[in-house]
Amino acid sequence: MSRSNPRVLSTLERAGGFASAQEVYRLMQREGESIGLTTVYRSLQSLVNDKIVDVLRRDDGEAIYRLCGESHHHHLVCKSCGETVEIEGGAIEKWAQLIAEEHGFRDVGHTAEIFGICKKC
């Protein structure tokens, strides 16, 4: 196992939200940093193991990473124009946790999205 290259973490921080390994790599290239794609993958995996970074999957299957501890939230998205509202989980957080515990699951996470047609559309 290898330890995470600090420049990878720093780049992921700078990226803001979620970013894939490929995106982190391209970002570093663009900023003139010399690094191999392999090292980016290895570093991100290591950060996930250490629970410094969350990983989940895009619809297309690509893995995307983000720093843990950024506030957890969900999205309300307009199917027509794409306008997005960030919303707090509220009741859903408890619901997910409760359901999971009822079935004996641990290490619980969840995803939730609401979509519809916004006022303007």
Partner DNA sequence: ACGGTAATGAAAATCATTTTCATTTGTGAT
Partner DNA sequence: ATCACAAATGAAAATGATTTTCATTACCGT
Residue 2 touches DNA, criterion: CB under 7 A: yes
Coil, strand or helix at 67: strand
Q: Could you tell which of DNA, Zn ion, Mn ion, none binds residue 121, using a CB distance below 5 to 8 A set by kind?
A: Zn ion
- Single out the residue of 9, 11, 12, 20 in contact with DNA (rule: CB under 7 A): 20
Query: What distance in Å separates the CA atoms of residue 40 and residue 37, rounded to the nearest whole number?
Result: 5
Residue 11 touches DNA, criterion: CB under 7 A: no
| DSSP code per residue over 17-39 | S-EEHHHHHHHHHHTT----HHH
In the complex, which residue's CB is closest to Zn ion?
78
| Cβ proximity to DNA, 7 vs 110, nearer residue | 7
Amino acid at 8: V
Q: What are phi and psi of 64, to 5 degrees?
A: -125, 145
Residue 68 touches a second copy, criterion: CB under 8 A: no
Min CB(24)–DNA separation in Å: 9
| CA 71 centroid distance within chain | 11
Q: Which stretch binds DNA (CB under 7 A): 55-63, 78-86, 102-110, 111-119?
A: 55-63
Which 8-state DSSP code applies to residue 87?
E
* Interface residue list for DNA (CB under 7 A): 1-3, 5, 20-22, 34-39, 41-43, 45, 61-63
